Amino acid sequence: MGDLLALVTPKIDWYHDFKGQKNAERWFQVIHIVFAIFGFTWGYMLQRFSITVYAVIAAFIVSSIVTLPPWPVFRRDPLKWQPKLTENNSAKKKPKTKKDM
């Protein structure tokens, strides 16, 4: 089982970038607010608080499906990492300490 998981997981991107995290948070908030307003209004008209609670639970489920998986829309701006230093480059670019002076 572990070998199968190791074969599959490197091919799947499991992250959101920083802008994707911001967008996912915004979607989360919008979904919850819309469902809460709708649930409160509908529950108030029918005089049943349980409808409001069900609407909030539905908002949690919908927002989890929309924002938790790493959809490509949340991975549009990947980080640009610095290149890996080789042994020769790391010796040249090593910062001087008080001992070196």
Report which of 101, 84, 82, 85 is spatially closest to residue 93, judged by C-alpha positions.
Answer: 85
Q: What is the pTM for the complete model shown? A: 0.68
Q: How confident is the model at residue 101 (pLDDT cuts 50, 70, 90)?
A: low
CA–CA distance, 42 with 46 (Å, rounded to integer)? 6
Percentage of residues of the chain with pLDDT beyond 70: 76
Is residue 87 very low, low, confident or very high in pLDDT (cuts 50, 70, 90)? confident
- The residue that leads in pLDDT, 76 or 6, is 76
CA dist 30 and 22 (Å) reads 12
